[in-house]
Amino acid sequence: MIDIRMLREQPEVVKDNIRKKFQDHKLPLVDEVIQLDLTSRSIKQEADDLRANRNRISKEIGALMAQNKKEEAENKKAEVANKATLLLELEEKERELEEKITKIMMVIPNIIDSSVPIGKDDTENVEITKYGEPVVPDFEVPYHAEIMEDFNGLDLDSARKVAGNGFYYLMGDIARLHSAVISYARDFMIERGFTYCVPPFMIRSNVVAGVMSFAEMDAMMYKIEGEDLYLIGTSEHSMIGKYIDTIIPESELPQTLTSYSPCFRKEKGAHGLEERGVYRIHQFEKQEMIVVCKPEESHLWFDKLWKNTVELFRSLDIPVRTLECCSGDLADLKVKSFDVEAWSPRQKKYFEVGSCSNLGDAQARRLKIRINGESGKYFAHTLNNTVAAPPRMLIAFLENNRQADGTVRIPTALQPYMGGKTALS
C-alpha cells in the first residue's frame, strides 16, 4: 500500500506505474481515491470544528452555572446535545470513507523500482547471470519421481489415498536427504549472521492482509473453518507478521531472520508432467530469510539475499541462474524481485527454485512496522528470499548429482548431514 500523500501530490506517477504493470483497469481507482480523500478531509475538518465548538460551549456552561444562570446553561446544554448527535453522524461518515479508501488503496500496486524491466508477464523476465556450467549428461536422466522411487523414497499412491492429489510420502534416504537439505540451509544462514526462528504455522486475517494482496490470498491460502486463522503459504508471512504494530529503535536494525516452516498452498489449475510428482504440491517445507531494515539499505540487502541462495546451490554443485521479474510479473506489493532458477539436465532448461523480493514499505505500512530514528518515526522496508524449498530443490539436486550407474553423489557440504554418506545407491 502506497502513501496517500503520493496520490494527492503525484497522481500521474501512480497512474504511470499502473500502466507499467499493465493494469489499466485500475487507473480510475486513483481519481476515485483522490475524491474520497477530499470528502473525508472535509468531513474531518467539519468534525474537528464541531468538537472545538462543543468544548467551548461546555466551558461556557460551567461559567453560567457558576453565575446561577440556569436557564441559559440549559439552553447551552441542549446545543451541546445537538452537536453531539451531529458529531456522531460525521464520525460514522469518516469511518465509512476511511474503509472505502483503505479497500481501494490495498489494490493499487506499489511503485516499482526504476530498474525493473517493463513487460507483460513472466515470458518477458530478463536473465541476469548464470552460475556454474549447465551439463547435459550422455545418459538419460529419469523423471524425478522415478529417481526417488528407485530408492524406495517416494509413495504418491498412499498419499493420494490419505490426502488426495498434491501430497506425498518421502521415505528412507530420500526423506533423510530432504531433512539434510533443510538442516544444511539452516546452518548456512546462521553462519551468515541470521537468527534462526521457527514461527507460527497459522496466522490471523489481519496479518494475511498485511503481507499479501487479496488476489494472492484467494489463490494460495487455506482458511481454517470457524477460526480467524490461515495456514501459511510461506514462513515469510508469519515472520514479517512478528513485527506487526511495533516501533523498532534504529540502533536495532537490520533485523535478519532465517526461518523453517511447512508451507501449504492451494496450487490451483492443471499442470504438465514435469510439474507433477513433487514439483507443484499442496504441502512442502522451506528455509526462508527475511530482513527488516532502513529504507536506504534495502537495495543492498536485496543483493545480499539472492546471492545467499546462489551460493547455497553452488555449494551443492547445482548450476543456477537469476532472472529479474518484469513489471507485469511483479506482485502488487513488490518493488523489485529476482527468481533463482536451477538447471534441469532432464528438461535441458532452468526452473524456479526460489524468489527474492524487496517490498519497500508496503508491508510495513499495512502492518504498522515503524522505525524510531533521530529525526522521528518512519516505516521500515521489508525483504524476503527463499533459501531452499525441498522437495522441489530435491529435483534439481537429484538430477544434477545422478551418475550413469543410477547412484546419486552427495556433495562434500551435505555429507555431515547424511551421516557421512558420499552417495545414495
Give the chain's domains with CATH numbers. Answer: 4-105 (1.10.287.40), 122-424 (3.30.930.10)
CA atoms of 331 and 317, how far apart (whole Å)? 31
CA atoms of 401 and 315, how far apart (whole Å)? 12
Contact 262, 201 (CB under 8 A): yes
Contact 261, 198 (CB under 8 A): yes
Dihedral sign for Cα atoms in the order 228, 230, 231, 237: negative
Q: Running DSSP on this structure, what letter comes out for residue 116?
A: S
Q: Running DSSP on this structure, what letter comes out for residue 109?
A: P
Contacts of 57 (CB under 8 A, 6+ apart): 76, 79, 80, 83
End-to-end CA distance of the chain: 52
What cell does 127 get?
536473465
Contact 369, 246 (CB under 8 A): yes
- pLDDT of 64 reads 63
CA atoms of 366 and 369, how far apart (whole Å)? 8
CA atoms of 330 and 360, how far apart (whole Å)? 13
CA atoms of 357 and 290, how far apart (whole Å)? 10
Whole-prediction pTM value?
0.89
Average pLDDT, consecutive stretches of 10 residues, N- to C-terminus, the chain (425 residues): 92 97 97 96 86 72 69 67 78 92 94 97 96 94 94 95 93 97 98 97 95 80 94 95 97 97 80 65 95 98 97 96 97 96 96 96 97 96 96 93 96 96 96
- pLDDT of 216 reads 76
Nearest to 366 by CA among 337, 412, 333: 333
- pLDDT of 84 reads 77
- pLDDT of 270 reads 47
Contact 257, 306 (CB under 8 A): no
Distance of alpha carbon 383 from its chain centroid, rounded?
Answer: 8
- pLDDT of 61 reads 67
Task: Please give the C-alpha separations between residue 118 and each of 22, 114, 123, 303, 399, in angstroms, as whole numbers.
Answer: 9, 10, 11, 20, 34
CA atoms of 33 and 35, how far apart (whole Å)? 5
